[in-house]
């Protein structure tokens, strides 16, 4: 039996998106080790997983503007991993998706 995973999972784009991720990790008792598995399945999440402690601290300290600015920086890093630019257009890179039915 396999797990059907979502192909188009998106990174958090702002503080409210991050709050939902944070709540899932905190209240779902997800460890940092378990969070590493996200990087394997969704390579564009690498910047967020690698900076999870920093983002969590900014969130917990209610440093909203700094959190938002950091999220936007990581979004750029993530987009560079996920998309390639050809001319003026961006194309999603061809990641191999392990989707079972």
pLDDT at 23: 96
- Provide the token pair at 19: 């709050």
Q: At what angle do helices 15-27 and 64-82 cross, to 10 degrees?
A: 90
pLDDT at 53: 96
CA–CA separation, 100 vs 78, rounded Å?
25
Q: Are 35 and 2 in contact (CB under 8 A)?
A: no
Q: What are phi and psi of 29, to 5 degrees?
A: 55, 45
pLDDT at 5: 56
pLDDT by 10s per residue, the chain, length 101: 344 555 667 899 999 999 999 999 999 999 989 999 988 888 999 999 999 999 999 999 999 999 999 999 999 999 999 888 888 887 887 765 444 43
Helix, strand, coil in percent for the chain, rounding step 5: 60, 10, 35
């Amino acid at each position: 039996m396999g797990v059907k995973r979502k192909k188009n999972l998106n990174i958090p784009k702002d503080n409210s998106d991050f709050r939902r991720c944070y709540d899932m990790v905190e209240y779902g008792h997800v460890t940092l080790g378990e969070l590493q598995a996200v990087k394997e399945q969704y390579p564009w999440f690498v910047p967020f997983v690698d900076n999870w402690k920093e983002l969590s601290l900014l969130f917990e300290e209610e440093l909203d503007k700094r959190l938002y600015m950091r999220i936007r920086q990581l979004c750029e890093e993530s987009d560079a991993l996920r998309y390639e630019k050809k001319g003026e257009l961006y194309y999603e890179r061809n990641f191999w998706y392990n989707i079972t039915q």
